[in-house]
């Protein structure tokens, strides 16, 4: 158990819909990350927050948005869902947001778009 | 852009034997970090080992060790005394020295352990 908690674990939704994935980082960690794992694109970095502020951005679609709240939990919002958005979405956290800081992953949220 | 290549889609090893998983990366930077993560069937991503590029000494964690060849941009993982619980997908990851702390992952290598 990494200490990173993600909900829901599984989610099935229809195309065009909007979903929110939630993440609680490890106790004491200030930085949160979101990654997407899909069959065709592998593991991709989406976005990083540090203490409520966006720190780095990766291949995150405009239909997707994220935020980190004052209590440090984070949410990833996915809207206008397409079949290709079906993937395992990981949240991860680290103590600081600086390069090389060890990143610990949650168990992921499985999203299926039908 | 930095890229990570794992040229072995799948590897097999007999229980108690040694196996090496390959990883190469492409970067123009001199300072960075490298990681190996394990993803068992449960899909949890588990950190196996990390290496700082400025350290010449190869990292070791119990039965897991790396062979870090900076000039060749190679970062292989050696698993000694393989156990059934080592069966998983293994990902090599690169982390650049830049603002933020992102990981760039390779495509992964499936490791099968035979009893």
Q: Nearest-CA distance from B98 to chain A in Å?
A: 6
Query: Is A96's pLDDT higher than 90?
Result: no
Please judge whether B102 and A45 are an interchain contact, meaning their C-beta atoms are less than 8 angstroms apart.
yes
Please judge whether B100 and A2 are an interchain contact, meaning their C-beta atoms are less than 8 angstroms apart.
no
Contacts of A8 (CB under 8 A, 6+ apart): A21, A22, A109
Rounded CA-CA distance B98/A3 in Å is 26
What pLDDT score was predicted for residue A55? 93
User: Which of B90 and A101 is assigned the larger pLDDT?
Assistant: B90
Please judge whether B33 and A42 are an interchain contact, meaning their C-beta atoms are less than 8 angstroms apart.
no
B100 — contact with chain A (CB < 8 Å)?
Answer: yes
Query: How many other C-beta atoms lie within 10 A of the C-beta of residue B2?
Result: 15
Q: What is the pLDDT of residues B42-51, one digit of tens each?
A: 999 999 999 9
Mutate which: A1, A3, A47, A100, vs B, most B CBs within 10 A: A100
CB A17 within 8 A of CB A66: no
Mutate which: B94, B102, B105, B108, vs A, most A CBs within 10 A: B102
Query: Is B98's pLDDT higher than 80?
Result: no
Closest Cβ–Cβ partner in A55, A100, A107 for B44: A107
Please judge whether A103 and B98 are an interchain contact, meaning their C-beta atoms are less than 8 angstroms apart.
no
Structure tokens at A7: 């909900």
What phi and psi, each to the nearest 5 degrees, are found at residue B77? -115, 125
User: Which of B2 and A103 is assigned the larger pLDDT?
Assistant: A103
What pLDDT score was predicted for residue A94? 94
Q: What is the pLDDT of residues B63-97, one digit of tens each?
A: 999 999 999 999 999 999 999 999 999 999 999 88
Rounded CA-CA distance B24/A111 in Å is 31
CB A109 within 8 A of CB A89: yes
Q: What is the pLDDT of residues B58-69, one digit of tens each?
A: 999 999 999 999
What pLDDT score was predicted for residue A99? 80
What pLDDT score was predicted for residue A97? 81
Please judge whether B103 and A101 are an interchain contact, meaning their C-beta atoms are less than 8 angstroms apart.
no
B115-to-B13, B14, B84 alpha-carbon distances in Å? 9, 6, 7
- Residues of chain A positioned with their CB less than 8 A from the CB of B97: 99-100
What pLDDT score was predicted for residue B100? 75
Closest Cβ–Cβ partner in A43, A45, A96 for B91: A43
Which residue in chain B is spatially nearest to A41 when comparing CA positions?
A: B107
Q: What is the pLDDT of residues A32-88, one digit of tens each?
A: 999 999 988 899 999 999 999 999 999 899 999 999 999 999 999 999 999 999 999
Instruction: Give buried/exposed letters for A29-52 (b at 16+ CB in 10 A, else e).
Output: bbbbbbbbbeeeeebbbbbbbbee
């Amino acid at each position: 158990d990494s200490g990173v908690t993600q909900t829901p674990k599984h989610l099935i939704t229809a195309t065009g819909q909007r979903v929110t994935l939630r993440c609680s980082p490890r106790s004491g960690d200030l930085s949160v990350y979101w990654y997407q794992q899909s069959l065709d694109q592998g593991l991709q970095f989406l976005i990083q927050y540090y203490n409520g502020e966006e720190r780095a951005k990766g291949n995150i679609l405009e239909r997707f948005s994220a935020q980190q709240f004052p209590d440090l939990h984070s949410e990833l919002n996915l809207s206008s869902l397409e079949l290709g958005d079906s993937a395992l979405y990981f949240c991860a956290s680290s103590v600081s947001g600086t390069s090389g800081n060890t990143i610990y992953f949650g168990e992921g949220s499985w999203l299926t778009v039908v | 852009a930095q890229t990570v290549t794992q040229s072995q889609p799948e590897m097999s090893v007999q229980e108690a034997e040694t196996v090496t998983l390959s990883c190469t990366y492409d970067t123009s930077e001199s300072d960075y970090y490298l990681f190996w993560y394990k993803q068992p069937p449960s899909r949890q991503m588990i950190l196996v080992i990390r290496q700082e590029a400025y350290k010449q000494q190869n990292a070791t964690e119990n039965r897991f060790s790396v062979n870090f060849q900076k000039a060749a941009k190679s970062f292989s993982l050696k698993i000694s005394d393989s156990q059934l619980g080592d069966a998983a997908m293994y990902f090599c990851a690169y982390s650049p020295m830049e603002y933020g702390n992102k990981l760039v992952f390779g495509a992964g290598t499936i490791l099968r352990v035979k009893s």
